[in-house]
Amino acid sequence: MQLWLALLQRPGNRVSKVVAAFSGRDESLPVTDSLPPEVRPDVNTGAGRQGPGGQKTGPRAAPTAGVGIGNARRSGKQSWTMTQQPLRGVTSLRFNQDQSCFCCAMETGVRIYNVEPLMEKGHLDHEQVGSMGLVEMLHRSNLLALVGGGSSPKFSEISVLIWDDAREGKDSKDKLVLEFTFTKPVLAVRMRHDKIVIVLRNRIYVYSFPDNPRKLFEFDTRDNPKGLCDLCPSLEKQLLVFPGHKCGSLQLVDLASTKPGTSSAPFTINAHQSDVACVSLNQPGTVVASASQKGTLIRLFDTQSKEKLVELRRGTDPATLYCINFSHDSSFLCASSDKGTVHIFALKDTRLNRRSALARVGKVGPMIGQYVDSQWSLASFTVPAESACICAFGRNTSKNVNSVIAICVDGTFHKYVFTPDGNCNREAFDVYLDICDDDDF
């Protein structure tokens, strides 16, 4: 599969110093002034290449307007892409790496919000970027990854564009500093401080980023229409997880110990009997959680030993899971689905989770035994069932009180607090789409 990586519009474009654009923290990273020779496109040989539908996608071709997002899709862990007409214009939602912000791809552009307290931190309007399909943040910095989508895109669905808000310029094009272009639609993007991962339906690419961007790895995958993938944000661990070639399996790759350009034996976990539908790593990358297309069970595995740690039961009826997320200290896990319920499970002290009443009956058959052995959620709350949502843990208000945030595509924001005894109450509700900041980024 051919790929081009190009600087946009002007030869002088470069990624500026990465700064904390949404907080006072210094998240600076060293970057280079230009692309290295090995990844600079050959202008002469690339000018005549054609993309899907005859679209010209040469090395310095600007993003082309009018390309739709094709087959709608949901994408893994904590993002969701609309499969029907977007509610209030939202096409996808995504938390940043520490769940302190979330970004909203819309028919009208992009919005970035702080979670606690809820406030809009910036936006890109339709005139700047067109309608968007996917947006990914790099922590709280000035860099955003954009993928076109929706009904009136300026950018193609086969390209990932990097928006650098710290770059000065009179025109919005001045802030578009990198473009990764493929021949197939981009289904998901993940970023960490030193790498960017781009997910296609049957292939995953890993690049160094933003310093000296070059391709490091390329992985063929099982058919992955949801773009499932997760990348550990920890400085200590560079773990990447995605669906394995075998149905229901997970493949884990340690990017730090795998040498670019070499093949190594895949580290595989046989997690489910049917295809994986959702996957998530905890913050340190020591535990991976996944659910299958059936959506009744969430299984957690140790990423080193591959040992199954616990099996959590969402319910008995099949469901589509939109999101799985760990608390910052991995003491709890939350999950949302198309049933309109957000479930909260205890991980550090699993005795807090509910058990089936049949667990007290004694010996039962193998099928019933599997049902009995599962742990049910400690607490749960509901959001509108017709509105997909992502969920994550908020800041702890006290030692015994925790909170979960749910962000819905209908524009609503829900915050619930829960205690170890399973008591769960709503603390806040808002309509984030009605919160406006007059300033752009």
Q: Does residue 19 register a pLDDT over 90?
A: no
Question: What's the rounded Cα separation, in Å, for the pair 245 and 184?
Answer: 20
Q: Which residues contact 286 (CB under 8 A, 6 or more apart)?
A: 237, 302, 303, 304, 330
Q: Which 8-state DSSP code applies to residue 104?
A: E
Report the C-alpha dihedral over residues 350, 353, 357, 363, rounded to 10 degrees.
Answer: -20
Whole-angstrom Cα distance, residue 172 to residue 239? Answer: 34
**Is the pLDDT reported for residue 91 higher than 70?**
yes
What pLDDT is attached to residue 113? 98
pLDDT at 409: 95
Strands of 109-114's sheet, edge to edge? 79-81, 90-95, 101-106, 109-114, 119-125
Q: How far apart are CA 75 and CA 322, in angstroms?
A: 8
Would the pLDDT of 228 be above 60? Answer: yes
Helices and strands, number each (H, E), in the chain = 3, 32
* β pairing state of 308-313 and 375-376: parallel
Q: What is the pLDDT of residue 373?
A: 66
Q: How many domains is the chain built from? A: 1
pLDDT for the residue numbered 171: 82
Closest to 140 (Cα-Cα) out of 169, 99, 179: 99
For residue 203, the enclosing domain spans: 4-37+73-434
Query: Which DSSP state fits 377?
Result: P
Mean pLDDT over the full length of the chain: 81
pLDDT score, position 265: 63
Low-confidence winner among 118-127, 252-261, 358-367, 424-433 (lowest mean pLDDT): 358-367
Residue 48 lies in a domain: no
What is the share, in percent, of the chain residues with pLDDT greater than 70?
Answer: 73
Residue 60 neighbours by CB under 8 Å, 6+ apart: 6, 7, 8, 41, 43
Round to whole Å and give the CA distance between 188 and 184. 12
Least confident range of 101-105, 116-120, 426-430, 435-439: 435-439
- Sign (positive/negative) of CA torsion 209, 227, 277, 263? negative
Question: Who has greater pLDDT, 76 or 66?
Answer: 76
Residue 387 CA to residue 285 CA, distance in Å, equals 30
CA distances 255 to 207, 302, 435, Å, are 11, 17, 40
pLDDT bracket for residue 374 (50, 70, 90): confident
The region, left, alpha or beta by phi > 0 then psi within -120 to 50, assigned to residue 98 is: alpha
Whether residue 410 is contained in a domain is answered as yes
For residue 238, pLDDT beyond 50: yes
pLDDT at 384: 85
User: So what's the pLDDT on residue 161?
Assistant: 98
Residues 6+ apart with CB under 8 A from 328: 98, 99, 283, 393
Pseudo-torsion of CA 242, 247, 249, 250, nearest 10°?
0
pLDDT at position 7 is: 40
Instruction: Flag whether pLDDT at 235 surpasses 50.
Output: yes
Tokens standing for residue 198: 């781009």
- Mean pLDDT calculated for residue range 345-364: 75
The angle at the Cα of 316, spanning 312 to 321, to the nearest 5 degrees, equals 65
| Mean pLDDT of all residues in 187-209 | 97
Range 426-430 average pLDDT: 97
| 93 within some domain | yes
Structure tokens at 295: 């959506």
Token pair 């474009």 is at which residue?
A: 13
Q: How confident is the model at residue 92 (pLDDT cuts 50, 70, 90)?
A: very high
Picking from 296-300, 344-348, 422-426, 437-441, which range would have the lowest pLDDT averaged per residue?
437-441
Q: Pick 302 or 46 by higher pLDDT.
A: 302
Pairing of strands 90-95, 195-199: unpaired
* Residue 87 predicted with pLDDT over 80: no
Nearby residues of 383 by Cβ (< 8 Å), 6 or more positions away: 336, 340, 341, 342, 389, 406, 408, 412, 414
121's CB contacts (< 8 A; 6+ apart) are: 22, 101, 112, 113, 114, 437
What does the pLDDT look like over 28-44, one tens digit per residue?
233 333 333 333 332 22
E strands in 76-158: 79-81, 90-95, 101-106, 109-114, 119-125, 130-137, 143-153
Q: Which of 76-85, 175-184, 259-268 shows the lowest mean pLDDT across its residues?
A: 76-85
Q: Residue 241: what pLDDT?
A: 98
Structure tokens at 32: 């280079």
Q: Report the share of the chain in percent with pLDDT over 90.
A: 66
Where does the pLDDT of residue 387 fall: very low under 50, low under 70, confident under 90, or very high at 90 and above? confident
Containing 45, the helix (H) or strand (E) segment is: helix 43-46
Least confident of 79-88, 223-232, 429-438: 79-88
Tokens 């496109």 correspond to: 41
Confidence of residue 317 (pLDDT cuts 50, 70, 90): very high
Q: Is residue 66 part of a domain?
A: no
Amino acid at 355: R
Q: Which two tokens stand for residue 407?
A: 């962000």
What is the three-class DSSP state of 434? helix
Give pLDDT, residue 262.
Answer: 61
**pLDDT at residue 431 in the model:** 96
Tell me the backbone φ, ψ of residue 72, rounded to 5 degrees.
-65, 155
Question: Does residue 271 lie within any of the structural domains?
Answer: yes
For the cut 90, the answer to whether the pLDDT of residue 407 exceeds it is yes
Identify the residue with better confidence: 258 or 76: 258
> What is the number of residues in the chain?
441
115: CATH: 2.130.10.10
In the three-class reduction of DSSP (H, G, I as helix; E, B as strand; rest coil), residue 387 is classed as coil
Cβ distance 218 to 2 under 8 Å?
no
124 belongs to a structural domain: yes
Whether 167 is in a domain gets the answer: yes
Q: SS3 of 131, please?
A: strand
